[in-house]
Amino acid sequence: MESNKKTIKIIAVTAAVTCLLTNTVRDIMYVHDNGVINHKVKKVANIISDYGLYDIDEEKMADYAATGLAVAVDDHYTNYYSKEEFASFNTSLSNSFYGIGIVISVDPETNKLVVVSPIEGGPSANAGILPGDYIVAVDGVEYSGDQMNEAVSLMRGDSLENKKGTQVTVTIERNGARSDYVITRDIVRINSVNSKMLDDEVAYVRITAFNAVDDKSDGSQDTYDEFKAAIDSLQQEGMKKLVIDLRNNPGGSLSVVNRIADELLPAGIITYTETKTGKRQDYTSTAGELGIPMVVLVNGGSASASEVLTGALKDYKKATIIGTKTFGKGIVQTVIPLGDGSGISLTTSKYFSPSGVCIHGVGIEPDIVVEADETKQISDLSVEEDVQLQKAIEVLKQ
């Protein structure tokens, strides 16, 4: 597709995780019988076919027409995928893939590609890429936010038959200065939950994404499975207080985050969505809750599903929120296959916290603001060096 193709703002398939708060539709969704759209597209196609000097590639023409329809929505999150792109997108939802392991977005103020979070243990994180970095060029070619698909494809190495061990040069702008990072593509494995006891009472659980798994026949676990196993183990070790770390968690599956919230909250609304016609859908928790003091750590890389969990715990006053303001993504996308291998991701609704707040474009302010040194990866910090975690422990001890 051309460089002016509209792209999804927060999915960076380079990272091969979904950073959207998504619902997935398995059936085919057809465009309504809109006379203006259908008449114009059909008329132009017929004129080109009947009177054009050159032969046309009908599949290519259809892809460009569909791309144009998505562009007209004027929404970074709405995007049409050709067969090749949709196959790559679906691959991106798996728990392991080849690439550079990075989640990117578009800064609406600068129209630059911005790093939401590098995947821990992945090539980008190991190379020193940090949340908030701007990606201004790939292999010497400059890219803007409107060219995200092209930049993502190049970073991921879509044109390469064997990606493992190949390199890509990513130019990063940080604090106004540019630096080149040579990153070696490798397999990226996503282990979305890490946990440990910090002392005899305080437990720590870090969730790096809310991943879903369609087929568990091979023993694969989604993030809820990992979280539940971690909580069960920590309870056996004497957990009485809990730190949930959602820093640099770009989001993921709505159903997965709701199942996790159900483990932590009393009966009631976790979140609800509304379409443009006002149709509302409630997501609720059942009776029973963890029932221990909790702190949630967040920052500007905490987005989408992370904000669903944070907002619910904050509204129910079940956790103290510590860190810096979250990303601010309060809209839901539906991923729709079109039956011929292609597909579309479409913004279909807004989501709200239990108290009725939509944080889209606003984010969630923490109860206690604690700034941190963002030049270091969270996973590289010791408990003593992590000032936000230290504040969480202090609050729980009180």
- Active-site residue, 315 included: yes
What separation in angstroms does the CA of 257 have from each of 62, 168, 169, 208, 332?
36, 34, 35, 12, 13
Tally Cβ neighbours within 10 Å of residue 235.
14
CA atoms within 13 A on the CB side of 188: 32
d(CA 209, CA 321) in angstroms, rounded, equals 18
Q: Which of 270, 266, 260 is nearest to 231 (CA)?
A: 260
Annotated catalytic residue within 314, 315, 349, 353: 315
β pairing state of 167-174 and 134-138: antiparallel
d(CA 228, CA 226) in angstroms, rounded, equals 6
Q: Starting from the edge strand earliest in sequence, which strands make up the sheet with 368-369, in order?
A: 193-197, 202-207, 241-245, 294-298, 320-323, 368-369
Annotated catalytic residue within 5, 6, 9, 329: 329
- Active-site residue, 146 included: no
Annotated catalytic residue within 105, 153, 304, 306: 304
Q: Kindly state the helix (H) or strand (E) to which residue 281 belongs, with its residue range.
A: strand 280-285
- Active-site residue, 304 included: yes
- Pair of tokens at residue 251: 């989001």
Q: Which of 271, 266, 280 is nearest to 318 (CA)?
A: 266
The residues assigned a catalytic role are 304, 315, 329
